[in-house]
Amino acid sequence: MSESEAKALRIILLGPPGCGKGTHSAWISEDYGIPQISTGDILREAVAEGSDLGKDAQRYMDAGKLVPDEIILGLARERLAQPDVARGFILDGFPRTIPQADGLAEILEKLEQRLDHVIEITLDREELIRRITSRRVCPNCKAVYNLSFKPPEREGICDRCGARIVQREDDTRETVLQRLEVYERQTAPLIDYYRERGLLRVVRADEGYDATRAQIEGYLGGKTE
Ligand code: AMP
Judge if the beta carbon of residue 17 lies within 6 A of ligand 1. yes
Is residue 161 classed exposed, middle or buried when 0-12, 13-18 and 19+ CB atoms within 10 A define those classes? exposed
Task: Check if 87 is active-site.
Answer: no
Picking from 94-98, 171-175, 183-187, 201-205, which range would have the lowest pLDDT averaged per residue?
Answer: 171-175
Q: Is 223 a catalytic residue?
A: no
Please report the atom of ligand 1 found closest to the CA of residue 68: 21
Compute the average pLDDT of residues 173-188.
94
The reply to whether ligand 1 has any atom less than 6 angstroms from the CB of 18 is: no
CB 95 within 8 Å of CB 125? no
Is the confidence at residue 2, as pLDDT, over 90? no
Q: What pLDDT shows up at residue 221?
A: 84
Residue 66, H or E segment: none
The distance of Cα 187 from the centroid of its chain, to the nearest Å, equals 13
> Which pLDDT value is given to residue 149?
84
If one residue of 43, 56, 78, 142 were mutated to test the ligand 1 pocket, choosing by the most ligand atoms within 8 A of its CB, it would be 43
In 95-187, where do the E strands start and end?
117-122, 135-137, 144-146
- The domain defined by 3-123+187-217 folds into Rossmann fold (3.40.50)
Q: What tens digit of pLDDT does each residue of 6-60 get?
A: 589 999 999 999 999 998 999 999 999 999 999 999 999 999 999 999 999 999 9
Choose between 216 and 221: higher pLDDT.
Answer: 216
pLDDT at 154: 97
Question: How does pLDDT run across 74-123, given as a tens digit for each residue?
Answer: 999 999 999 999 899 999 999 999 999 999 999 999 999 999 999 999 99
